[in-house]
Amino acid sequence: MKLTLVIRQGNTQLIGQIKEIPGVLTQGQTVAEIKENITDALMLYLEDAREDDADDTASIISQEELEFA
């Protein structure tokens, strides 16, 4: 799976965002720092989403892990 990293100039720092998942944001001083931080931001976002889904198990009829290369 490919995702698009959009980097914009903020007031004091660069801001990085995954275009396909607007809730995944990070900031940094350099493009390299943004690229490094965005992976952590994505992992935290997915971890949080998993925790939210774990609370609503009553209606689940199937669940399986998927791996995207």
- Tens of pLDDT along 36-68? 999 999 999 998 888 766 666 777 788 787 777
**pLDDT of amino acid 25:** 96
Calpha distance 69→58 (Å, rounded): 31
Contact at 8 Å (CB) between 13 and 26? no
User: For tokens 């490094």, what's the residue?
Assistant: 36
Calpha distance 62→65 (Å, rounded): 11
**pLDDT of amino acid 69:** 65
**pLDDT of amino acid 49:** 83
Longest CA–CA separation in the chain, Å:
47
- Tell me the mean pLDDT in the region 12-41: 96
Paired tokens of 57? 């198990």
Contact at 8 Å (CB) between 35 and 5? yes
pTM here? 0.72
